[in-house]
Amino acid sequence: MDTTKTPVPTATEADADAPEDKAATPGTAAAEPAADLDPEQAGTTEPADGADTDDIDDIDEDAPERSTGVGAAATAVVAAGLGLVALSGSWVSRVAAERQTLIGQIESVSATTAKEKIAALYGDAWHMTALVNGVLSTLALLLAVFVLAGPAFGAPGRVHPTWVRSVSWAAVALGLLGVLLFGLMYFDLLFPLPTAAQ
């Protein structure tokens, strides 16, 4: 009977044999180093949330501010209101006419002819009314034209809403009508001054 004992491998010999066994087994040791690598070294990069947010912020800051068109809309409404007030008679024109009437009464004292008295008492006041309302109509016309011509001198592709353009064209019509009407009144072409019978 053979009584010789098989020599037990020492710890150093076991460690030397271990790499060979791990290398021989696929899917065990080969996959572990890849897990320890950084994402950039492993070839997989995760999207950085901060970088995307910064890019969006930069785009928003660089983008030009778009006009909301509130100023143009308000100007169109004011122009239409001025044109309507001028045609119906404004408080300013009435006060100016009353002041001119008072001045005419003072001047009529020294008037020698009936024509001069009529002009001092009534004609000057009518002319003042036509002048003030004509100025309001002209202002309404200029504001409306400014709104309509705004997109041509503004940013490319800028267009006012339909209702703003409609109100502006209405103000243009009211302004033109007022300028024509009060111009004729001021020069005594529409309503000439009455003359006294000789």
> What pLDDT, in 10s, does the model give residues 67-80?
567 888 999 999 99
Tell whether 181 is covered by a domain: yes
Does the pLDDT value for residue 1 go beyond 60? no
Tell whether 168 is covered by a domain: yes
Does the pLDDT value for residue 61 go beyond 60? no
Tell whether 155 is covered by a domain: yes
Tell whether 94 is covered by a domain: yes
Tell whether 10 is covered by a domain: no
Mean pLDDT within 168-173: 96
| 46: CB partners within 8 A, 6+ apart | 39
State the DSSP string of 46-72.
PPPHHHHHHHHHHHHHHSPPPP-SHHH
Mean pLDDT within 157-184: 92
How would you class 152 by CB atoms within 10 Å of its CB: exposed for 0-12, middle for 13-18, buried for 19 or more? exposed
Tell whether 30 is covered by a domain: no
Number of domains in the chain: 1
Nearest CA to 101 out of 129, 123, 131, 121 is that of 121
Q: Which two tokens stand for residue 53?
A: 């947010």
Tell whether 37 is covered by a domain: no
Q: What is the pLDDT of residues 151-170, one digit of tens each?
A: 877 766 678 889 999 999 99
Mean pLDDT within 165-185: 95
Domain residues for the domain of 177 are: 71-186
pLDDT band at residue 98, thresholds of 50, 70 and 90? Answer: very high
